[in-house]
Amino acid sequence: MSQIMKRICCFFLCAISFINRSDAQAVFYDTDVIQEIRIYFNEPNWDHLLDSLYVEGDENRLLANLEINGESFDSVGIRYKGFSSVSVDRNKNPFNIKLDYVNNQNYDGVDKIKLSNVIQDPSFLREVLSYEIARKYMPASLANYAEVFINDIYWGLYTNVESVNKDFVEKHFNSRDNSFFKCNPESLDFDGENANLGNSPGADSTLYFDLYDKRSEYGWSDLYGFIELLNEAPEDVASLLNIDRALWMHAFNYSLINFDSYVGYAQNYYLYQDDNDQFNPILWDLNMSFASYRFTDASEFFDGFTIGQAKTMDPLMHYNSVSVYPRPLMRNLFNNDTYRRMYIAHLRTIMEENFVNNEYKTRGLALQNLIDNAVQADTNKFYTYQDFIDNLNVTTSDLIDYPGLTDLMDERKVFLQTYPGYQGAPEISNLNYFPGANNEPDISIVATVTNATNVILKYRYASGDLFQTLEMLDDGNNSDTAPNDGIYGVNLSDFTNYVEYYIYAENEDAGRFSPERAAYEFHQIEVPLESFTVRINEVMASNDNTIADEFGEYDDWIELYNTTNATISLQGFILSDTTNQWVLPDISIAPNEYILIWMDDDTEQGDLHASFKLSASGETLRLMDPSNSYLIDEVGFANQTTDIAYARIPNGDGPFQENFSTPGWNNEQMVAVNEIENEWSFELFPNPVNNHLNIRLTESGNFNISISDVNGKMLASFEIKNRITSNLDLSSFSPGIYIVQINNGQNVVSKKIIVQK
């Protein structure tokens, strides 16, 4: 498949079933609002039935009716969730509620609700506060509280945590169907490796089935490929791992002593492979953070650690000590000096932004005040009301000791502030950018950096793309003022109108990022885009059967073309006609490539669907900059012919004329309508072809298509009925020359194609 078609297909896939529900979900998961959830079971022995499903390991659910903040839902499916938090001897068990179990229904875009019973946490704060901290640095679930009633009896205060599911990954990664795993073994082995990403099970991916729960249609080969690279060639693992995201997860777990995670028994996290082929770890199940769980496989604490030991836990334990069971996602990253310094820099950021400044105390008190009455009224809670009041600050003793949050973290922050690499980091300031000398390169980025031996710029021209790396130098030749003056510079020669970037600087002891939350946060530069850098290149205002969108609908469309050699961001640009306008979302066009915008007045179908339609009787379209102050491009057209495009010939800069459509392709690959001979014919493109061959006929009708090798052996045959376009999948064909014949029942026309891989 060509790069152009890959780009178009990528946008199609990202758009499928995409509805931005993040704002609505944020209301349901608003941390400062307690939700009210009422469950109505028909069966008087509902608890026994749920117990039985859990004991039998049955994934079936019990039907119930539900009310969420007064809104009713019929026939939802309910089962228990979790492992150690469930017991048939408890009243207050955690719930997994599926709203669309029978009916297609959701609450503000949420179709699955996960309610935790707040066991192992007398403070009622650990889970909600931990997720709030984590969301500053990485994709992590929204979380708040819910008062749960069963058959109108108050059952208790629960934590309400957003599911890590396909909606979650679509929100954070703009895709939903890539390889996706929950990293929890079917049966937790307290004396084994579990979901540690080690490769000891062997090279057969089926040997990993019991250790990881696949949440996508495919992915086992992807997961094993990543595991093999992580263990056998960790120096190359950046091609399949978002290393920065992994370092943030480790920094979070060690800062907050969240050891019921990858650290302890290698569980309670997810992996999602984004469109860049990188796996991204995602935190899960934070109810035992702040040292409520005190087991790890490092040799000193194999039998568990005390609260005192938690306060001084070595954040590089899996580098400085022995891992009883392999932890390659830590040890193999920490073996890299730069990754190790980056990790400590992330840990410093978490501590400084939440604990050194005592922000966590302020939030803890606010949440405690919010839920005070609900906790006091909860007769099914596992600890006393006084325990709830006390555990923010002091240890509560039950089956184990649960450290007070402030008692733990006030001493832990003092310990970490003296940890090697925490102090002595470079300082980064005075970031600036300006055009390069003689307008070459296009833009230069400079910063003042002190106490550094190495400074790098990480940049990308489109959200979601991989960050690229350039070294920043203080040599007087990279738009910095003079050699060795502490000003570091770098030149970007292919910049157009938008760039996202961050800076990392290090010395032999420590590292620092700017911004501190990089790469989850980053700096941005936006400059005006010159006119005619993006062209409205092709228009079809009457589409009956030329090309369908990802929903199978033959909507009108326009094609935008990037005429430059650099990626262009279209976020905020305005497409308008006489009476309508549509603000383009966060999309971009790669150099010399194309994007199709469906003009269907159906923005809920995805980012590439505009908020208005075209008029086949004619109108004027304009593409304006985000300020709506200057024109990027425009086209006016009169009455349009069905299934005939209105396109620029020559491609990109010529005048418009009627043309057989070439969506996603150079318009000159198809001759104009008025140049077609009276005798029927067809066009094949691209040629040479990799995987998919497009066929364009000069008239519609019924045609038989055959493909033969040069020896005349027929390899495939197809049929076209009442269409003028078709797309043939040639991915199974070997490289070589082939003959395509089309028979309309009276005549046969043949053309050669070249298949290349």
Single-letter amino acid code for the residue at 597: I
Of the listed ranges 224-238, 524-538, 685-699, the least confidently predicted one is 685-699
Q: Mind listing the pLDDT tens digit for each residue in 356-394?
A: 999 999 999 999 999 999 999 999 999 999 999 999 999
Are residues 683 and 661 in contact, defined by beta-carbon separation less than 8 angstroms?
no
| Across 219-232, average pLDDT | 96
More confident residue, 699 or 421: 421
Count of structural domains within the chain? 5
Q: Is 519 helix (H, G, I), strand (E, B) or coil?
A: coil
Give the separation between CA 62 and CA 127, rounded to whole angstroms. Answer: 27
**729 located within any domain:** yes
Q: Final residue of a domain: which of 675, 691, 718?
A: 675
* 3-state DSSP of 385-417: HHHHHHCCCCCEECCCEECCHHHHHHHHHHHHH
Residue 515 sits in the same domain as residue 564: no
First to last CA, the chain: 9
Is the model's pLDDT at 8 over the cut of 50?
A: no
Residue 620 sits in the same domain as residue 747: no
Give the separation between CA 129 and CA 99, rounded to whole angstroms. Answer: 26
Residue-range definition of the domain harbouring residue 94: 18-166
Is the model's pLDDT at 13 over the cut of 50?
A: no
| Across 313-320, average pLDDT | 95
Report the length, in residues, of the chain: 757
Q: Mind listing the pLDDT tens digit for each residue in 496-522?
A: 889 999 999 999 999 999 999 999 999
CATH number at residue 625: 2.60.40.1260
Is the model's pLDDT at 12 over the cut of 60?
A: no
| Cα–Cα nearest to 368, from 387, 381, 353 | 387
Q: Mind listing the pLDDT tens digit for each residue in 659-674?
A: 878 888 888 765 444 4
- Residue 704 CA, chain-centre distance (Å), reads 44
CATH number at residue 443: 2.60.40.10
The pLDDT score that the predictor gives to residue 85 is 84
Distances (CA, A) of 224 to 70, 201, 232, 602: 47, 11, 12, 40
The pLDDT score that the predictor gives to residue 546 is 79
**580 located within any domain:** yes
Residue 154 sits in the same domain as residue 196: no
Distances (CA, A) of 678 to 206, 496, 698, 702, 745: 60, 45, 9, 18, 17
The pLDDT score that the predictor gives to residue 3 is 33
Q: Final residue of a domain: which of 297, 330, 348?
A: 348
Residue 53 sits in the same domain as residue 181: no
Are residues 37 and 113 in contact, defined by beta-carbon separation less than 8 angstroms?
yes
**417 located within any domain:** no
Q: Mind listing the pLDDT tens digit for each residue in 245-291?
A: 999 999 999 999 999 999 999 999 999 999 999 999 999 999 999 99
The pLDDT score that the predictor gives to residue 670 is 55
In terms of C-beta density within 10 A (0-12 exposed, 13-18 middle, 19 or more buried), how is residue 525 classed? middle
Q: Name the band, by pLDDT with cuts 50, 70 and 90, for residue 46.
A: very high
Instruction: Give the start-end residues of each E strand in 638-713.
Output: 645-648, 656-659, 682-685, 692-697, 702-709
**406 located within any domain:** no
Residue 651 sits in the same domain as residue 563: yes
In the numeric block, the tokens 């938008």 are attached to 498
- Residue 545 CA, chain-centre distance (Å), reads 34
The alpha carbon dihedral of 359, 364, 367, 373 has a sign of negative
**1 located within any domain:** no
The CA angle 407-411-416, to the nearest 5 degrees, is 145
Residue 692 sits in the same domain as residue 728: yes
Percent of the chain beyond pLDDT 70?
92
Are residues 346 and 247 in contact, defined by beta-carbon separation less than 8 angstroms?
yes
| Across 418-427, average pLDDT | 98
Residues with Cβ within 8 Å of 675's Cβ and at least 6 positions away in sequence, in order, are none
Single-letter amino acid code for the residue at 523: H
The pLDDT score that the predictor gives to residue 679 is 54
**410 located within any domain:** no
Residue 735 sits in the same domain as residue 692: yes
Q: Name the band, by pLDDT with cuts 50, 70 and 90, for residue 680.
A: low
Distances (CA, A) of 59 to 52, 371, 396, 722: 11, 32, 35, 48
Distances (CA, A) of 392 to 51, 146, 425, 550, 732: 33, 20, 32, 52, 63
**Mean of all residue pLDDT scores within the chain:** 89
Phi/psi of residue 311, each to 5°? Answer: -65, -30
Residue 279 sits in the same domain as residue 138: no
Q: Name the band, by pLDDT with cuts 50, 70 and 90, for residue 437.
A: low
Give the separation between CA 30 and CA 24, rounded to whole angstroms. Answer: 10
Is the model's pLDDT at 742 over the cut of 80?
A: yes
Residue 515 sits in the same domain as residue 623: no
| Cα–Cα nearest to 7, from 565, 685, 561, 642 | 561
Q: Element (H or E) spanning 253, and its range? A: helix 243-255
The pLDDT score that the predictor gives to residue 479 is 81
Q: Element (H or E) spanning 10, and its range? A: helix 3-15
Is the model's pLDDT at 395 over the cut of 70?
A: yes
**Cis peptide bond upstream of 420, omega within 30:** no
More confident residue, 18 or 591: 591
Residues with Cβ within 8 Å of 444's Cβ and at least 6 positions away in sequence, in order, are 433, 434, 435, 436, 478, 479, 489, 490, 491, 492
Distances (CA, A) of 172 to 280, 317, 492: 11, 31, 28
Residue 707 sits in the same domain as residue 568: no
Q: Encoding tokens for residue 242?
A: 């978002």
CA dihedral of 237, 243, 246, 250, whole degrees rounded to 10 = 100
In the numeric block, the tokens 């850098």 are attached to 533
**463 located within any domain:** yes
Give the separation between CA 730 and CA 689, rounded to whole angstroms. Answer: 8
More confident residue, 9 or 352: 352
| Across 69-76, average pLDDT | 96
Distances (CA, A) of 139 to 164, 171, 270, 389, 653: 10, 9, 11, 31, 42
| Cα–Cα nearest to 549, from 501, 515, 597 | 597
Phi/psi of residue 600, each to 5°? Answer: -125, 5
Q: Mind listing the pLDDT tens digit for each residue in 99-110?
A: 999 999 999 999
| Across 211-231, average pLDDT | 96
CATH number at residue 699: 2.60.40.3080
**4 located within any domain:** no
Residue 553 sits in the same domain as residue 487: no
Of the listed ranges 123-127, 457-461, 546-550, 635-639, the least confidently predicted one is 546-550
Give the separation between CA 320 and CA 693, rounded to whole angstroms. Answer: 56
**b/e sequence 130-158, b meaning 16+ C-beta within 10 Å:** bbbbbbbbbbbbbbbbbbbbbeeeebbbb
| Cα–Cα nearest to 696, from 669, 656, 715, 666 | 669
The pLDDT score that the predictor gives to residue 639 is 92
Q: Name the band, by pLDDT with cuts 50, 70 and 90, for residue 165.
A: very high
Cβ atoms < 10 Å from Cβ of 412: 24
Phi/psi of residue 343, each to 5°? Answer: -60, -45
| Cα–Cα nearest to 595, from 617, 619, 577, 573 | 573
The pLDDT score that the predictor gives to residue 78 is 97
More confident residue, 546 or 599: 599
- pTM (two decimals): 0.83
Residue 564 sits in the same domain as residue 687: no
Q: Name the band, by pLDDT with cuts 50, 70 and 90, for residue 677.
A: very low
| Across 25-37, average pLDDT | 91
| Across 194-212, average pLDDT | 95
Q: Is 4 helix (H, G, I), strand (E, B) or coil?
A: helix
Q: Is 507 helix (H, G, I), strand (E, B) or coil?
A: coil
Q: Final residue of a domain: which of 491, 508, 526?
A: 526
The alpha carbon dihedral of 686, 687, 692, 696 has a sign of positive
Q: Encoding tokens for residue 158?
A: 């629960």
